[in-house]
A and B are shown apart, each in its own frame.
Chain A
Amino acid sequence: EAGVAQSPRYKIIEKRQSVAFWCNPISGHATLYWYQQILGQGPKLLIQFQNNGVVDDSQLPKDRFSAERLKGVDSTLKIQPAKLEDSAVYLCASSYQGNYNEQFFGPGTRLTVL
């Protein structure tokens, strides 16, 4: 079974530029999550989708971050414009139903904002 795929693996941009990350969850997984992991910290949930609907985006900085999951499969997370403090690893995870089920994580995208 293929795991959660993410691209790119690494991205370096300058502040005020835009960036987008892509995630392809495990086939059949209805729930998709985006996490931000700042160096030395645990992952923090940004947004959770159930199929193509948003379940929770309370911790998503909506003035600069946006995410979508069209057709309930792949998802894209965008930052526009980026700030220095956005430097982090962005992890995508998926689970079968999202109800205390195990989450499977992708390898992450390491973003550096200069």
Chain B
Amino acid sequence: AQKVTQAQTEISVVEKEDVTLDCVYETRDTTYYLFWYKQPPSGELVFLIRRNSFDEQNEISGRYSWNFQKSTSSFNFTITASQVVDSAVYFCALEGSARQLTFGSGTQLTVLP
């Protein structure tokens, strides 16, 4: 069975602060993919990143960066210099051999002006 845990239910930061969203996963598969999705108030899930289990290189995309550590089964997401438009619910998800996405419960990020 697969499980994704996002322990932070809600986070509030002030604009321009850095913020890290935690994600811990469990799986018995050796090959799997990890994802982050953003869900703004409009409700549509927006894909942010996909990382396979064999690639532990950290990735940076603009103000976004991701830290994948297989040793601790974590795939954390950092937003640098946060902006009000970053306010949304962020979901971490795992896809294993069953080819199905298992989502965490999400972290509500509020960026205050």
Contact = CB atoms under 8 A, between A and B. Distances in A.
A103 B101 contact: yes
Contacts of B37: 105
Contacts, number: 51
Count chain B CB atoms within 10 A of each CB in A42, A45, A55, A104 and give the residue with the most: A42
B95 A43 contact: no
A60 to B, nearest CB: 13
Interface in A88-106: 89, 91, 93, 98-100, 102-106
Interface string B33-77: 101010000111111001010000000000000000000000000
B20 interface: no
A25 interface: no
Contact of A48 (B4, B100, B106): B100
B42 A41 contact: no
B100 A41 contact: no
Contact of B106 (A41, A44, A56, A104): A41
A108 B43 CA distance: 7
B95 A40 contact: no
B99 A100 contact: yes
A99 B99 contact: yes
A91 B52 CA distance: 25
A34 B93 CA distance: 16
Given A42-B4, A99-B99, 18 more contacts: A33-B101, A40-B106, A42-B91, A42-B93, A42-B104, A43-B101, A45-B100, A45-B101, A56-B98, A56-B100, A91-B45, A100-B33, A100-B50, A102-B50, A107-B42, A108-B43, A108-B44, A110-B43
Interface of A: 33, 40-45, 48, 55-56, 89, 91, 93, 98-100, 102-108, 110
